[in-house]
Structure 1
């Protein structure tokens, strides 16, 4: 069970903004990555694995990041990333799971992916 005192980490929730195609058109998700909101939370490493991409081994870790439920979290989906401000590591959001009371939300995310 997560309590408010467990949320000691600081996390940035980021997504790519819309980009311009050079002719006045807008391309969704083609712009730079921008921090949408920052909040405190807790991170737990769930598993670690190694994947091989183009004959180069890469370490992949699955983590769970728990934060307080807030209006900004309703927009978060699997195109977003979460950056741990203390370590500088970024994680790609894979799944969202709110708790039964609606007080906290847990994001399953993957780090170390290209």
Structure 2
């Protein structure tokens, strides 16, 4: 019984531990943008939600993720990416990727074992 409780507590602490967004990288391709998000620990795919607007903005909500302020800096962006806006709330982190073009679609690929998510826009 004690082993079961210990396993449950350990599993819960790993699943709900504070994860931080460590780095954002992007690579502009001829047919879109590849965005890589590196986390301090693996993040389950159901904690990543993305959607697009009609005005060229892609939004990403990361549940129970904080921002690592010392590692993510503002940078000069390459077209079609104009700006990345990061809003931190008590229970989630929201990212807005502003593009100067219409977004046709997107795909989110979560690499749990690498603590990385890749977004293809």
TM-score, with length taken from structure 1: 0.36
More strand by proportion, 1 or 2? Answer: 1
TM-score, with length taken from structure 2: 0.34
